[in-house]
Amino acid sequence: MNLFDVYPLIDVTPVKALGAKLWDENGAEYLDLYGGHAVISVGHSHPHFNQRIKDQLDQIAFYSNSVQIPIQKQLATKLGELSGYTDFNLFLCNSGAEANENALKLASFVTGKSGFISFSGAFHGRTSGAVALTDNPKIIAPSNQRTDVHILNFNELIGVENLLRKGNIAGIIIEGIQGVGGIQIPNPEFLIKLSELCKKYDAKLILDEVQSGYGRTGKFFAHQWVTGLVPDMITMAKGMGNGYPVGGVLIHPDIKASFGLLGTTFGGNHLACAAGLAVLEILEKEKLQEQALKSGEYLLKELETINGVTDVRGKGLMIGIDLEKEAAPIRSELVNKYKIFTGSSSSKHTIRLLPPLNIEIIQLSSFLDSLKKILS
């Protein structure tokens, strides 16, 4: 049997990993500036992460949500503490798309409306609701096409209030920082205005922090760079489990739902919570949010000076590099010649950097040297 729809973008077979390093089956060493698509937050094979999962596996790996699962509460408490959202409620699921799907459903339930707004360049997942709000017509099947979904221009307010005024908009969904779209940062005033408009017209503001969350940008969530912004829901996944599938929705305490409205068999299982908790413990103990911010400042400053780089954007270790030339051949050379993984984006000239948050400065500087050599 063959695998369905395989798309290896990097023709390497990693069989071992540690920190920000990967090794292929021949023992060749690679540097990971992609983090498995922003998933590896605390580094590959972190000893505390591995140990916590092993210990949990020896205790109890899974039982359905029909029983008490104290480690869920522990995870929620720690997440509240580190994110500052102590009064929010946490719904646990398994992926970013599932988190968004549940947030959309909840927004629709509590407002009694069905329409949604998202923005150009957005990526929210491949399930039916999330894909309809994703700006990529090629992956939207006819059954996911919706007339009540509106993809408006990113960072522009044009059309937003008009749509809300018409009355059927349940919510607006936007990434804390756009990832797949090429690391685009929403303007603070834009986000604040969206929040105000949502309140005015009884719609819910959903911040998709699946890629930008978990300390990566130097704040726990990227939207926390905007003072005073309090979303109605915040979705997360990727870095939350450092490779173990965990997703979640943080839900404002004003949003009440009846029991059983949201649910999923595997969401919040013991192993997933152990992984999630280990990530938070490492983030806190090793001050990785602060490290990400410093490493990011270093990268941004250095990248700006490189010939052939036309723009650099980002916060912390979520960085977009625009190049004069197309990015694909440059990324290939980075992998094949210099043994460095980077990320692509939906814009042809952009390279994305999403390394583990504890990547070392010396590793970042070796990437900079390699990029300089290729571009010169």
Binding positions for ligand PMP, rule: CB under 6 A: 95-97, 100, 123-125, 175, 179-180, 208, 210-211, 237
Do 298 and 361 meet the contact criterion of CB atoms below 8 Å apart? Answer: yes
- Residue 141's nearest CA partner among 128, 123, 122, 124 is 128
Find the shortest distance in angstroms from Cβ 124 to ligand PMP: 5
Q: Which residue has the tokens 């009355």?
A: 167
Do 183 and 322 meet the contact criterion of CB atoms below 8 Å apart? Answer: no
Residues 52-75, buried b or exposed e (16+ Cβ, 10 A)?
Answer: bbeebeeeeeeeeeeeebebbeeb
Q: Which is nearer to ligand PMP, 235 or 363 (CB)?
A: 235
Strands 169-175 and 340-341: unpaired
Q: Which is nearer to ligand PMP, 123 or 201 (CB)?
A: 123
Q: In Å, how far are 19, 250, 347, 350 from 329, measured between CA atoms? A: 26, 40, 14, 12
Q: Which is nearer to ligand PMP, 175 or 322 (CB)?
A: 175
Q: Which is nearer to ligand PMP, 100 or 242 (CB)?
A: 100
Residue nearest to ligand PMP (CB): 96
Q: Which residue has the tokens 């280990």?
A: 278
Distance CA 376, CA 373 (A): 5
Q: Which is nearer to ligand PMP, 209 or 322 (CB)?
A: 209
Q: Which is nearer to ligand PMP, 5 or 254 (CB)?
A: 5
Find the shortest distance in angstroms from Cβ 209 to ligand PMP: 8
Which string of DSSP letters, residue by residue, matches 118-142? EETT----SSHHHHHTSS-GGG--G
Q: Which residue has the tokens 């699921």?
A: 93
Find the shortest distance in angstroms from Cβ 264 to ligand PMP: 13
Find the shortest distance in angstroms from Cβ 94 to ligand PMP: 8
Find the shortest distance in angstroms from Cβ 46 to ligand PMP: 20
Find the shortest distance in angstroms from Cβ 192 to ligand PMP: 21
